[in-house]
Amino acid sequence: MGYAFSSGYGILLLAFGVLPTLYAIFLAFTKNGSFVGLDNFSKVFGDYRFFPAVQHVALYLVVYLVCLILFVVLLALIVHAVRSRWLSTSVRFLYYIPGALAGASSVLLWLFLLDPTVSPVAFVLRGMGLDSFVQTVSIDNLPVIFTIIAFWTGAGGWIVIMYGALNNISEEVMEAARIDGAGPIGTAWYIQIPMLRKWISYMGIMALAAGTQLFVEPRVLSQASKGVVPPDYSLNQLAYLYAFSQKDFNGSAAISLILLVVAVGLAAFFVFRGGLFERE
């Protein structure tokens, strides 16, 4: 029965995960059906757009991961510390609402918020010296903007998950900490956060998987800003241009394979450093 229940996921994983990956590997090392070794990778590395795209994605990932881990854990601890049940439930519900919006819908909403001429928070933007939409979405501001959009969309779900993990910490452990004289900060630092290590690692892996595939946000902003945000800002956008503008599916596959290797390597770091598969 267990195999029957898991067969649906296994079939979808094979059809839309494993087989496309194998096909991408085949394309990355061939050209017109002939094996060409690392030629496609050399072409991609030699493209003047490649390393700026790598820099953009790397900078975004650093800013996003740091903010995600710090603020999700902090907000989860705060919500968990609220003793009023209705207030805690209401706050968790409010955190989770933005996650119900699809990625493109979320970006469209932020297009409205980031335009100082129509935004309800225009006074904040103007206070930062941003008087137009073009100024707001300048290249230097994009890592922070994409971080805010991604955090607003996805952090609520992670806060709820961390809240559930905090509820699984034994009450005896928490009581022992209080008896030993640990305050809220000491309890959080020495007891709760270390016991959230596996969940934080899991969140980091999933955030990396999503962050390396940055595509929707820069593409929509590129169209809305009429080219202020370049169409090759991220690696996924560059792969899209290779495939559908240059008709070079082999180069596109090479970029996707590079993304896969980097994502797997970073995920492995989180797995081993976070002890994700360690047994208690």
Domain carrying residue 72: 48-273
| Between residues 271 and 43, the one the model is more confident about | 43
- Dist. CA 109–CA 102, nearest whole Å: 11
60 within a domain of the structure (yes/no)? yes
List Cβ neighbours of 57 (8 Å cut-off, separation of 6 or more): 211, 212, 214, 234, 235
Model's pTM, two decimal places?
Answer: 0.87
Q: Check pLDDT > 60 for residue 102.
A: no
13 and 138 both lie in a single domain = no
- Quick one: pLDDT at residue 19? 96
Q: Does one domain contain both 169 and 30?
A: no
Distance CA 72, CA 158 (A): 7
For residues 69 and 197, membership in a common domain is answered with yes
Identify the pLDDT of residue 2: 86
Within a domain: 278: no
30 and 148, same domain (yes or no): no
Say whether both 3 and 98 belong to one domain.
no
pLDDT value, residue 183: 85
Nearest residue to 89 (alpha-carbon basis) of 99, 81, 79: 79
Based on the domain organization, do 28 and 90 belong to the same domain?
no
Whether 113 and 252 share a structural domain: yes
Closest CA relative to residue 44, chosen from 236, 252, 189, 230: 252
25 lies in the same domain as 53: no
Mean pLDDT throughout 9-37?
94
pLDDT band at 104 (very low <50, low <70, confident <90, very high): low
Return the percentage of the chain with pLDDT > 90, whole number. Answer: 45
Answer yes or no: is 279 within a domain: no
Summarised one tens digit per residue, pLDDT across range 115-173 is 998 898 889 999 988 898 989 999 999 999 999 988 888 888 898 889 889 988 888 88
Instruction: Note the pLDDT of residue 182.
Output: 83
Distance CA 234, CA 73 (A): 28
> Quick check: is 178 in a domain?
yes
Asked whether residue 11 is domain-assigned, the answer is: yes
Q: Are residues 91 and 197 in the same domain?
A: yes
